[in-house]
Chains A and B, each alone.
Chain A
Amino acid sequence: MEILVCIKRVPDTAENEIEVNRDGTDIERDDLVYSVNEWDNYAVEEAIQIRDKVGGNVTVVSVGDENAEEVVRREMAMGADQGILLSDDVFEGSDGKGVATILKAEIEKGKYDLILTGAQADDGAGQVGGMLAAMLDWPFASLVNKIEISDDKKISVGREIAGGNQEMNEMDLPCVLSIQTGINEPRYVGIRGIRKVASVDIPVHGMGELGLSPDRIGKAGAKVNCLDYFVPDPGEGAEMLEGSTDEILDKLVEILKSKGGIK
């Protein structure tokens, strides 16, 4: 089975303090560390497990600047067979549809049976997977937490529904799935693993290689444009506790007690 996983390099929410910059155009990026988007990591693990079970190939692809190569490499260290970086100055400023357009162009160059994306990204809107499927005119399932390969034509996919119940759907290949966290336990990628793939060639495809026209991608092609980033004002009834951890905890306990939350 030929599997393509779309991955994204995002600021690591666990290891950063995210703050909006002064003019509200972006977050403060000076001290940020980046990693592969958590959902995508689950998608790659799932792809590797499917490949190990039924054979085939796993390719990871990322749309981003040259720094995105680092996450492509990391996922190759995890076990993906190939990596492709889709990078071009004109890609910058693409909205969800623009990113889906770029990915679609790459997908059409190959012959894939299964496309996986993360259900959403830490810094995204959770729209690329669906748009990509629509553009390819392939079946799409979102928030997938279970995949069973029936044969080379069909798969069953599951989704958690309310009350912890499970829904199973059958769909034809090729198709696009957006993967939910918790579908598996992603393996650890050690420093040694990354070093082993440090010199593997990762092809970079730009606008030319993908045969894209500049008016459908990047800032020029974006139909949705970001206006502002800001910290919302505290609403009525909201109170920000300040001080050291101990002080905050004391205040919290006091409030909970006074409101009858704890005795």
Chain B
Amino acid sequence: METALISPAKAAFLGIPTVIFSLIIPVVGVAVFAYIMAKRLAPLVRALPDERLDRPCRRLVAVLKYYFGQYKHPRYITAGIIHIALFIGFFIISLRSVTLVLSGISEGYHLPGFGGELGAAYDILKDYTVTVMLVVTIVAMIRRGIFKPERYAVPPKYGKDHTKEAVFVLALISGLLISDSFFEGSLAAANLQQGIHSESMVLGTTPWVAALLLSGVSTESLQSIHIGAYFSHELIFFFFLCFLPLGKHFHIITSLPNVFMMKLDKGTVKPVRWGVPDSRLDELKNFGVNKFEDFTWKHMLDFYSCADCGRCSDHCPANAVGRPLSPRFITIKSRDYSFRHYPLLGDFIISNEPLIGNILEEHEIWSCTTCGACEEECPVMIEYIDKIVDLRRYMVEEGMVPQSLQKPLGALEKRGNPYGKMERKRADWIKDKNFADTFKVKVLGNGVKAETLFFVDSVTSFDDRIQHIGRSTARVLRACGIDFGILGPAEMDSGHEVRRFGEEMLFQQLRDKNIEAISSTRAKKLVTADPHAYNALKKDYIGMPEVEHISQVISHALVEKRIRLKPFKEEGRVFTYHDPCYLGRHNGFYDIPRKVIDSIEGLKRVEMGKRCKDRSFCCGGGGLYLFYEPIEEKRMGQVRVEMAAEAGADVIITACPFCMINLEDAVKTSGLEGKMEVIDLVELVDRHLEI
């Protein structure tokens, strides 16, 4: 095809054919990129094993949903739209970029199949894409550079601001788009000047603007601009490629595999060591993560995949109340550590120094309540809980356990509950006078049998306030027509938080005793009112009968009309439902408890703005978290109670004993006593049972 300008494949610069550069730049670029990638893979090779290739179909679905579908991005609408626009844009212009690179070697190159109409259509699409991307990039630069959304800020203790890198990369992207536009625009302008017919420019696109701007420029200059723009694009393209693995833009490469190899089983905790069964744990020399190479390779890939978007920390309740934890910086600090110790040039620095006390702090790791808000937000499915648990496993091994937790852990070891109460008093809650007069709860064993086992757990067995929830649960179970019993003294703490605090062997001891006791009752079903116990029985225990949370039991009973609820009579009261982390985020029960509440006629319920369902704000944590003395400015429960007040509610309904303790405490410390009430879902149902 005749054109007014000489193409980069045929042109010469200072007498040197430019095709040489067209060859050298990609070869050098790809070689440098391969070298960097090899260096980046080095720590992953030294890391501990991980198992991430099971259930490939589910993984493909995850890739379609979270990667191609960009499912989590719109949770932050502005950033989400910007990202989705650039994400789609990159896929479209990647074909153009490859075509451009190759056309510098072979004049007029087009990708297979792109010679005819498809190619022409693609060119139009591409021109629009380039234009939209350029606008979006500029908007993004203004947003990052001028408006500076708060969540991108870097607190001084975590190092320098990251704005420069972000804006620099956006500038590179614009550079790619602009150079491409001028490459094309200069040719169009020259063709026009010489009256050569060429495909008309797409009106209003950046190549069109470039052609317009260059319309008065001499052909000679246009030739220089044409070649200059081409090689600018070429250089930026390969520089960008090699720049990706050097920082947060590594996610452009790693997020696809990271999503494919995401954790599929929410609410579980990774085994101490992948591939080592519980029976052989004693053979392991050490537990948990001490040095960097104790992370699994997937957890290292997580570090590479972080885009530094700050969504995790923006939703982290520990971060919100000023605890020394910001999940984002667990990742950033670890990535920086990895880059420092596996440099691109020079020898790797393999060090045995512990991460705790070096880049991480003890209190930072104890601050996490494992609420899962960070993981819920992460667009690229980075995991935090498993890493935190692994770091705690190491600390437990080294004896680095806060004094406030040592007593309850000791009591769990000796008595099977964190309060140090006598085992034989575990069923005393059913002996409450008013209750026992009307109701005799079966204690299973010694020939006493029941269809359903109500797993009570420690807090409901021993805490004065929570025992009321236990008794309500019993009454509701009876009203639902369920034949049930409890384990009584044979029950041990579920160990849910023991495991999440990193004391794996104590957890296994508790679990094994419970499994034995539960199995011996031959109960066909397990019911609990405690989401933590529910999660433990369902995800941490093996070979258990079907487990249900009491909200499910109530919901079924309502549907099957086994129970009916009286209307709510009090005027002017407004309820709000607080999603417990281990019922909501970790187990996905958002609608069931709401439906149960809404089945009470006349009860007015509001949501706490955006902070509901999978964005619920943790009350402060369950189990052992009640004993932990965190460094914080404010209590999480207090923040949550204030959210409820702001929503206009004066009753908070929850469905977890620990939420009850934390929120009731918070009502008192917020000075809302008498103005705000906290009630458990099962207590609410109990009060409204139509008998």
Q: Which residues of A pack against B, CB within 8 Å?
A: 12, 14-17, 31, 33, 35, 78-79, 185-193, 195, 244-246
Query: In the complex, how many residues of chain B place their beta carbon closer than 8 angstroms to a beta carbon of chain A?
Result: 30
Least CB distance, A145 to chain B, in whole angstroms: 16
Q: Are B414 and A31 in contact (CB under 8 A)?
A: no
From DSSP, what is the main secondary structure of chain B's interface residues?
Answer: helix
From residue 394 to 414 of chain B, which have CB atoms closer than 8 A to chain A? 396-401, 403, 405-407, 409-411, 413-414
The digit string for B407-431, where 1 denotes a CB below 8 A from any CB of A, is: 1011101110000111110000000
How far apart sit A192 and B401, CA to CA, in the bound complex (Å)? 14
How far apart sit A223 and B424, CA to CA, in the bound complex (Å)? 39
For the complex, is B506 an interface residue (Cβ under 8 Å from A)? Answer: yes
Q: Apart from A14-B420, A188-B409, what 10 extra A-B contacts exist at CB < 8 Å?
A: A12-B410, A12-B420, A16-B420, A33-B415, A186-B403, A187-B399, A187-B400, A190-B399, A191-B509, A192-B287
Q: Report if A188-B407 is in contact (Cβ < 8 Å); known contacts: A12-B414, A14-B420.
A: no
Least CB distance, A262 to chain B, in whole angstroms: 16
Q: Are A15 and B464 in contact (CB under 8 A)?
A: no
How far apart sit A189 and B407, CA to CA, in the bound complex (Å)? 11
How far apart sit A17 and B406, CA to CA, in the bound complex (Å)? 19
Q: Report if A15-B415 is in contact (Cβ < 8 Å); known contacts: A191-B506, A191-B509.
A: yes
Q: Are A15 and B411 in contact (CB under 8 A)?
A: yes
Q: Are B506 and A190 in contact (CB under 8 A)?
A: yes
Q: Are B399 and A78 in contact (CB under 8 A)?
A: yes
Q: Are A188 and B406 in contact (CB under 8 A)?
A: yes
- B282 contact from A14, A79, A195, A246, Cβ within 8 A: A195
Q: Are A188 and B287 in contact (CB under 8 A)?
A: no
Least CB distance, A261 to chain B, in whole angstroms: 20
How far apart sit A79 and B398, CA to CA, in the bound complex (Å)? 10
How far apart sit A244 and B431, CA to CA, in the bound complex (Å)? 12
Q: Are A31 and B506 in contact (CB under 8 A)?
A: no
How far apart sit A263 and B505, CA to CA, in the bound complex (Å)? 50
How far apart sit A244 and B434, CA to CA, in the bound complex (Å)? 13
Nearest chain-B residue to A195 (Cβ)?
B282
Q: Which residues of B contact A12 (CB under 8 A)?
A: 410, 414, 420
Least CB distance, A15 to chain B, in whole angstroms: 3
For the complex, is B503 an interface residue (Cβ under 8 Å from A)? Answer: yes
Q: Are A191 and B401 in contact (CB under 8 A)?
A: no
How far apart sit A15 and B415, CA to CA, in the bound complex (Å)? 8
Nearest chain-A residue to B504 (Cβ)?
A192
From DSSP, what is the main secondary structure of chain A's interface residues?
Answer: loop
Nearest chain-B residue to A79 (Cβ)?
B399
Q: Which residues of A contact B414 (CB under 8 A)?
A: 12, 15, 33, 35
Q: Which residues of B pack against A, CB within 8 Å?
A: 281-282, 287, 396-401, 403, 405-407, 409-411, 413-415, 420-424, 464, 503-506, 509
How far apart sit A15 and B414, CA to CA, in the bound complex (Å)? 8
Least CB distance, B604 to chain A, in whole angstroms: 30
Nearest chain-B residue to A13 (Cβ)?
B420
Instruction: Give 5 closest A-B pairs by Cβ, nearest first.
Output: A187-B399, A15-B420, A188-B401, A191-B505, A33-B414
How far apart sit A78 and B401, CA to CA, in the bound complex (Å)? 13
Q: Report if A191-B464 is in contact (Cβ < 8 Å); known contacts: A14-B411, A14-B420.
A: no
Q: Are B422 and A187 in contact (CB under 8 A)?
A: no
- B403 contact from A185, A190, A192, A244, Cβ within 8 A: A185
Q: Which residues of A contact B410 (CB under 8 A)?
A: 12, 14-15, 35
Nearest chain-A residue to B506 (Cβ)?
A191
- A191 contact from B405, B413, B420, B421, Cβ within 8 A: B413
Least CB distance, B413 to chain A, in whole angstroms: 7
Least CB distance, A246 to chain B, in whole angstroms: 7
Q: Which residues of A contact B424 (CB under 8 A)?
A: 31
Q: Report if A190-B503 is in contact (Cβ < 8 Å); known contacts: A14-B411, A15-B414.
A: yes
Q: Which residues of B contact A187 (CB under 8 A)?
A: 398-401
Q: Report if A17-B422 is in contact (Cβ < 8 Å); known contacts: A191-B509, A195-B505, A244-B464.
A: yes
Least CB distance, A218 to chain B, in whole angstroms: 29
Nearest chain-A residue to B464 (Cβ)?
A245
Q: Which residues of B contact A244 (CB under 8 A)?
A: 464
Q: Which residues of A contact B415 (CB under 8 A)?
A: 15, 33
Q: Which residues of A contact B399 (CB under 8 A)?
A: 78-79, 187-190, 193
- B422 contact from A14, A31, A79, A185, Cβ within 8 A: A31
Least CB distance, A14 to chain B, in whole angstroms: 5
Q: Which residues of A contact B406 (CB under 8 A)?
A: 186, 188
Q: Which residues of B contact A246 (CB under 8 A)?
A: 464
Q: Which residues of A contact B413 (CB under 8 A)?
A: 191
How far apart sit A3 and B413, CA to CA, in the bound complex (Å)? 29
Least CB distance, B654 to chain A, in whole angstroms: 21
Nearest chain-B residue to A45 (Cβ)?
B399
Ordered by A's residue number, 9 sampled pairs between the chains whose C-beta atoms are within 8 Å are A12-B414, A15-B410, A15-B411, A186-B406, A187-B401, A188-B401, A188-B405, A188-B409, A190-B505
How far apart sit A33 and B422, CA to CA, in the bound complex (Å)? 9
- B397 contact from A15, A33, A78, A192, Cβ within 8 A: A192
Least CB distance, B498 to chain A, in whole angstroms: 10
Least CB distance, B397 to chain A, in whole angstroms: 7
Nearest chain-A residue to B395 (Cβ)?
A188
Most buried by B among A16, A17, A33, A193: A33
How far apart sit A186 and B407, CA to CA, in the bound complex (Å)? 12
Nearest chain-A residue to B503 (Cβ)?
A190
Most buried by A among B410, B424, B504: B410
